[in-house]
């Protein structure tokens, strides 16, 4: 399997680029690549490039790029996941698996019953961390477009500034009367709202209803927040995306 690597910045056919820092150490010390080896690189904007290692040293790697191509690994169903922030590895897991399952946008939200509290400086650092998690998931899964990850925001504030029109807005509700699989098929865009470990408060469910969200259920069992996110995305992609 060809090594895939995310590289930030502009990439041009036939160009030579220099990698240093973690990217260079990963190629040289972890993968033990040699001059002449070929990898695949992408910058998160769509295409990917074959890249031949032209030179390698202790702290840098030179790559010669070939001609770009499209990977065609993006889902036609544009899913926006609004996710109540959970602790540590659970949230990382959600970001990783949501990326693998083709989500287009992730908005982490701070909720009433959520155990995570973030000040502005910490919120931006967490966003940067989750963006790295997503980039790594793209490398593994074959995606060439990184999902947009927003800076965490209180859920109440997000309801007041929803960024885009979508075909369906859904909030996952344990024990809800409407099955996720029974809703009308969206044309291209869908937004799904999933709570943190402690779930949503009654006020947050009411705010979601006023904001236009429809309550749906995945079944009779109560799922952990990370399980709920993965299961929901898999069902959506199976019904209307590229897992059909």
The per-residue pLDDT for range 223-240, each reduced to its tens digit, is 999 999 999 999 999 999
Q: Mean pLDDT for the chain?
A: 92
Same domain for 91 and 37? no
Does residue 147 surpass a pLDDT of 90?
Answer: yes
- Is the predicted pLDDT of residue 206 greater than 80, yes or no? yes
Element (H, E) at 39: strand 38-42
| pLDDT of amino acid 69 | 95
What average pLDDT does this structure show over 200-224?
93
The whole-number average pLDDT for the span 164-185 is 89
Does residue 120 register a pLDDT over 80?
no
Q: How far apart are CA 40 and CA 38, in angstroms?
A: 7
Whether 53 and 112 share a structural domain: no
Tell me which residue range forms the domain holding 44: 4-70
- Residues above pLDDT 70, as percent of the chain: 100
**pLDDT of residue 164 exceeding 80:** no
Residues 121 and 188 in one domain: yes
Domain termination site, one of 25, 45, 70: 70
Average pLDDT over residues 150-168: 89
My answer on whether 90 and 11 are in the same domain is no
Q: Are residues 224 and 144 in the same domain?
A: yes
Please say which residue of 30, 51, 70 terminates a domain. Answer: 70
pLDDT at 1: 66
Give me the pLDDT at residue 75, please. 95
Q: Which of 56, 61, 64, 65 is nearest to 19 (CA)?
A: 61
pLDDT grade, residue 165 (50/70/90)?
A: confident
Same structural domain for residues 110 and 226? yes
Q: Return the percent helix, strand and coil in the chain, to nearest 5.
A: 30, 25, 40
With H, G, I as helix, E, B as strand and everything else as coil, classify residue 242.
coil
Which of 22, 41, 70 is where one domain is finished?
70
Number of domains in the chain: 2
Shared-domain flag, residues 56 and 149: no
Residue 59: the pLDDT is 85
Pair (112, 24) in one structural domain: no
pLDDT, tens digit, 9 for 90 and up, residues 74-92: 999 999 999 999 887 899 9
Same-domain status, 87 and 177: yes
Q: Give me the pLDDT at residue 160, please.
A: 86
Where is mean pLDDT largest: 29-38, 132-141, 171-180, 216-225?
132-141
95/89 Cα distance (integer angstroms): 10
Q: Is there a single domain that holds both residue 43 and residue 145?
A: no
CATH code, 45: 2.40.240.20
Per DSSP, 239 falls in state: H
Q: What is the pLDDT of residue 87?
A: 85
pLDDT at 93: 96
Same domain assignment for residues 17 and 38: yes
State what percent of residues in the chain have pLDDT above 90: 71
Same domain, 18 and 124: no
CATH number, domain containing residue 109: 3.40.1280.10
Contacts 24+ apart (CB under 8 A), 15-21: 15/65, 16/54, 16/62, 16/63, 16/64, 16/65, 17/51, 17/62, 17/63, 17/65, 18/60, 18/61, 18/62, 18/63, 19/60, 19/61, 19/62, 19/63, 20/59, 20/60, 20/61, 21/59
pTM here is 0.92
């Amino acid at each position: 399997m060809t090594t895939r690597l995310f590289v930030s910045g502009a990439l041009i056919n036939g160009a030579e680029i220099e990698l240093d820092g973690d990217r260079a150490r990963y190629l040289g010390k972890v993968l033990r690549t040699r001059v002449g080896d070929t990898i695949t690189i992408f910058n998160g904007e769509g295409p990917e490039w074959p890249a031949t290692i032209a030179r390698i040293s202790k702290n840098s790697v030179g790559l010669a790029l070939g001609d770009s191509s499209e990977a065609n690994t993006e889902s036609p169903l544009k899913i926006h996941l609004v996710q109540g922030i959970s602790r540590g590895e659970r949230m990382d897991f959600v970001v990783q698996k949501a990326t693998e399952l083709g989500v287009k946008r992730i908005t982490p939200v701070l909720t009433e019953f959520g155990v995570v509290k973030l000040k502005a400086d910490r919120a931006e650092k967490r966003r940067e961390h989750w963006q790295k998690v997503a980039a790594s998931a793209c490398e593994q899964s074959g995606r060439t477009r990184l999902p947009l990850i927003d800076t965490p925001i209180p859920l109440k504030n997000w309801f007041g500034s929803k960024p885009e029109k979508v075909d369906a807005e859904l909030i996952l509700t344990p024990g809800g009367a409407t099955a996720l699989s029974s809703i009308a098929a969206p044309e291209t865009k869908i937004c799904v709202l999933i709570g943190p470990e402690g779930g949503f408060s009654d006020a947050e469910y009411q705010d979601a209803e006023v904001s236009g969200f429809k309550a749906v259920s995945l079944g009779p069992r109560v799922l952990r927040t990370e399980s709920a996110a993965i299961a929901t995305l898999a069902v959506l992609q199976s019904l209307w995306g590229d897992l059909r």
